[in-house]
């Protein structure tokens, strides 16, 4: 059996067995799993390899691009502004970012950005991945374009641009870029090894993601004017773009966060544990409760799946049948990474890996591990 490193409380020993099994059968190449209970890390395990050729072991401090699991760090950053009375989710975006009012967007509220209901789910053409690295250009493009559906009426997953939208609101309020704000106000105080914009000095411990198999969907069969196609082509990066220095160093709060399961679970333990971890107090229970204010509930126009969105995070619904009833907030990343927060039992769970599966938001590997935790 594949050797699993780290520590685990006896009641969670099965997680190590499951991780070993997926490494043995090739479902995983390298991965990490972490669980916190009442702010304390009770599972911190890892195993496998950082590369597809299996030459370099996955170590304790190995990190990788977690794709949309990054969004939960962006959500937490905005929650901190709300906690401090600097941001009102029900206020117009243009109150903070006046240029955003262009082209029919004057009435879009911050909560619409949080819940993927703004109508601005991607960049309008022409756009290239390189545009995402230029903050002024990319946010100006978003400010200038029109929404693709009536804001607030339905969700359409903001796959790549949600971090730019919320990050610009944050920058207009605070003056700092999202990555710097997150590092100084959240990751730093918590001692969490998670980065939105990675310094080149950290590149040596990055495990490049292993791209997923090609999509079985033929793009030519889809309506080019649909919200789905416009979102996934606005722009359409390949997974190996995350190997590049430009991607790693950029501030892409929707998709380029680098970390491991320990850091993801550690940060989101703030939500799970009522706002305080190891004496670091960031949020009040009242602010955390904002997460559970339902903003939309239905089939998402981009994902094609039923999703119930609260304030940023997705909430418990029929989309997550593996979780028992309760107050859960969750999200996942392209290829398999995931974070689940149970505020009733004060548990945060994360799975982070390098071999991407074909799922857009988590996959069976993470679901199987989560089922063991939340049974």
* Residue ranges making up the domain that contains 371: 1-62+345-350+362-375
- 3-state secondary structure (DSSP) of residue 348: strand
- 3-state secondary structure (DSSP) of residue 205: helix
**Do 158 and 301 reside in the same domain of the chain?**
yes
DSSP state of 185: I
**Do 207 and 304 reside in the same domain of the chain?**
yes
DSSP state of 212: P
Is residue 279's pLDDT more than 90? Answer: yes
- 3-state secondary structure (DSSP) of residue 156: coil
**Do 147 and 2 reside in the same domain of the chain?**
no
Q: Look at residue 340 and tell me if it is in a domain.
A: no
The CB-side HSE value for 16 (13 A sphere, CA atoms) comes to 18
- Integer angstrom CA distances of residue 23 from 47, 54, 299, 366, 370: 8, 11, 34, 13, 17
Q: Look at residue 95 and tell me if it is in a domain.
A: yes
Per DSSP bridges, beta strands 306-309 and 296-299 are: antiparallel
Do 31 and 24 form a contact (C-beta atoms < 8 A)? no
**Do 208 and 260 reside in the same domain of the chain?**
yes
**Do 230 and 372 reside in the same domain of the chain?**
no
* CATH number, residue 172: 3.40.710.10
pLDDT of residue 124: 98
**Do 25 and 69 reside in the same domain of the chain?**
no
**Do 9 and 151 reside in the same domain of the chain?**
no
Model confidence at 320, pLDDT cuts 50, 70, 90, reads: confident
Backbone angles phi, psi at 258, to 5 degrees: -115, 130
**Do 127 and 239 reside in the same domain of the chain?**
yes
Model confidence at 196, pLDDT cuts 50, 70, 90, reads: very high
DSSP state of 292: G
**Do 23 and 139 reside in the same domain of the chain?**
no
The count of structural domains within the chain is: 2
What is the pTM for the complete model shown?
0.97
Do 270 and 282 form a contact (C-beta atoms < 8 A)? yes
Q: Look at residue 157 and tell me if it is in a domain.
A: yes
**Do 159 and 302 reside in the same domain of the chain?**
yes
**Do 193 and 290 reside in the same domain of the chain?**
yes
**Do 10 and 152 reside in the same domain of the chain?**
no
Look at the block and give the residue holding tokens 């989101």. Answer: 268
Model confidence at 325, pLDDT cuts 50, 70, 90, reads: confident
Cα–Cα distance for residue pair 184/83, rounded to 1 Å:
16
């Amino acid at each position: 059996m594949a050797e699993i490193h780290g520590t685990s409380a006896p009641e969670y020993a099965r997680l190590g067995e499951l991780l070993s099994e997926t490494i043995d059968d090739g479902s995983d190449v390298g991965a990490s799993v972490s669980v916190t209970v009442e702010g304390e890390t009770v599972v911190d395990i890892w195993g496998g390899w950082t590369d597809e050729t299996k030459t370099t072991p996955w170590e304790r401090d190995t990190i990788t691009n977690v794709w949309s699991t990054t969004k939960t760090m962006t959500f937490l950053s905005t929650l901190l502004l709300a906690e401090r009375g600097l941001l009102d989710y029900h206020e117009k975006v243009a109150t903070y970012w006046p240029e955003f009012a262009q082209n029919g967007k004057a009435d879009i509220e911050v909560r619409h950005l949080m819940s993927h209901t703004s109508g601005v789910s991607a960049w309008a053409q022409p756009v290239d991945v390189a545009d995402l690295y230029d903050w002024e250009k990319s946010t100006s493009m978003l400010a200038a374009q029109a929404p693709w559906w009536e804001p607030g009426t339905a969700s359409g997953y903001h796959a790549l641009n949600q971090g730019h939208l919320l990050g610009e609101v944050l920058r207009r309020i605070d003056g700092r870029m999202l990555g710097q704000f997150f590092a100084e106000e959240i990751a730093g105080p918590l001692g969490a090894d998670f980065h939105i914009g990675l310094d080149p000095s950290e590149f040596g411990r990055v495990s490049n993601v292993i791209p997923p198999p090609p999509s079985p969907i033929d793009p030519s069969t889809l309506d080019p004017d649909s919200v789905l196609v416009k979102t996934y082509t606005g722009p359409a990066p390949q997974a190996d773009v995350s190997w590049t220095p430009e991607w790693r160093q950029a501030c892409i709060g929707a998709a380029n966060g680098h970390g491991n399961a320990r850091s993801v679970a550690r940060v989101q333990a703030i939500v799970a544990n009522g706002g305080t971890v190891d004496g670091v107090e960031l949020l009040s229970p009242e602010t955390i409760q904002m997460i559970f204010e339902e903003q939309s509930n239905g089939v998402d126009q981009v994902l094609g799946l039923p999703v119930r969105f609260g304030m940023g995070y997705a909430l418990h619904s029929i989309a997550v049948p593996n979780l028992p009833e309760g107050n859960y907030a969750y999200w996942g990343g392209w290829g398999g990474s995931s974070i689940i927060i149970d505020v009733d039992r004060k548990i945060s769970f994360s799975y982070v890996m390098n071999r991407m599966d074909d799922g857009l938001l988590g996959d069976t590997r993470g679901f199987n591990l989560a089922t063991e935790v939340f049974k």
